[in-house]
Amino acid sequence: MIDSHCHLAAQQFSGDLDAVLARAKAAGVERMICIGDTIEESEDGLRIAEKYEHIFCTVGLHPHCAKDFGANTLEVLRSLVASSKKVRAIGEIGLDYHYDLSPRDIQREVFRKQLILAQELSLPVVVHCRESVEDVWSIVDEIKPSSLVIHCCTEKWSDVERFVKRGYLLSFTGIATYPKSEEIRDTIKHCPLDQLMIETDAPFLAPVPHRGKRNEPAFVVEVAKCVAEVKGLSIDEIDRVTTENAERFFGLPDS
């Protein structure tokens, strides 16, 4: 099993990362993708990926931090990618109109620039989309990235069907396990198996029955269980296909 999106460089893991990784291993989580939200987190995540063979990483600027995008940001991202084969994608990037922590026009500009960077570097993109699906689509439709995942997908199927028709992936978190998440489970039902990934987004959004606690990669098993139930398939089958999808999407070496 692969946790396709976790923030291992977050300060919540600074005290006990080895124990967290040991529990992930014991739960059957063989590999994970450590996500960058800021330049600092991207650099820290790359250090973690360099230290552990089974961890890979992404680099990018989250829409919350779009206002921090500077004259040399693209250059810094480019040099991080060039410095290590462990960097497997640009992300997480996108638009967040829920918190609006950066002005929307700047979010859109920074998203567009990082999508173009990913094309230039032939890397897939990990997209954050919150209350912004129309603008995310219009920018994606303009740049046409070759490989993209909507991470932590909470959208209804009618809003994300066009992404799936374009060949892009959807990735689901522990939010899918919450009682009120019927709309998300409906999206899971519609999402083709070969375009679906699972993730924790740890340390946030712990799935049932760990809800309210710090989330960690071992808990991705609960997301797999939820997807298996919605799809009417075994956990082993969901494990197999989501692992294959993540390996293909991030271009991971054979383990």
**Residue ranges that bind Ni ion, judged by CB under 5 A:** 201
Q: What gap in Å lies between CA 249 and CA 149, rounded to an integer?
A: 9
Q: Which CB sits closer to Ni ion, 215 or 245?
A: 215
- In the complex, what is the shortest distance from the CB of residue 35 to Ni ion, in angstroms, rounded to a whole number? 5
Q: What tokens does 16 get?
A: 């006990």
Structure tokens at 224: 């797999």
Query: Least Å distance between CB 254 and Ni ion?
Result: 27
Alpha carbon 166 to its chain's center: 18
DSSP the chain: -EEEEE-TTSGGGTTTHHHHHHHHHHTT--EEEEPPSSHHHHHHHHHHHHH-TTEEEEE---GGGGGG--TTHHHHHHHHHHH-TTEEEEEEEEEETTT--S-HHHHHHHHHHHHHHHHHTT--EEEEEES-HHHHHHHHHHH--SSEEE-S----HHHHHHHHHTT-EEEE-GGGGSTT-HHHHHHHHHS-GGGEEE---TTS-PPTTSTTSPP-GGGHHHHHHHHHHHHT--HHHHHHHHHHHHHHHHTPPP-
Nearer CB in complex with Ni ion: 37/159: 37
- The number of residues in the chain equals 255
The nearer residue to Ni ion, 214 or 255, going by C-beta atoms, is 214
Shorter beta-carbon distance to Ni ion: residue 155 or 201: 201
**CB of 159 or CB of 201, closer to Ni ion:** 201
- Rounded to a whole number of angstroms, the minimum distance from the CB of residue 157 to Ni ion is 22
- What's the closest the beta carbon of residue 12 comes to Ni ion, in angstroms? 13
C-beta closer to Ni ion: residue 201 or 239:
201
Q: In terms of CB distance, is 38 or 84 closer to Ni ion?
A: 38
State the residue number with the nearest CB to Ni ion: 201
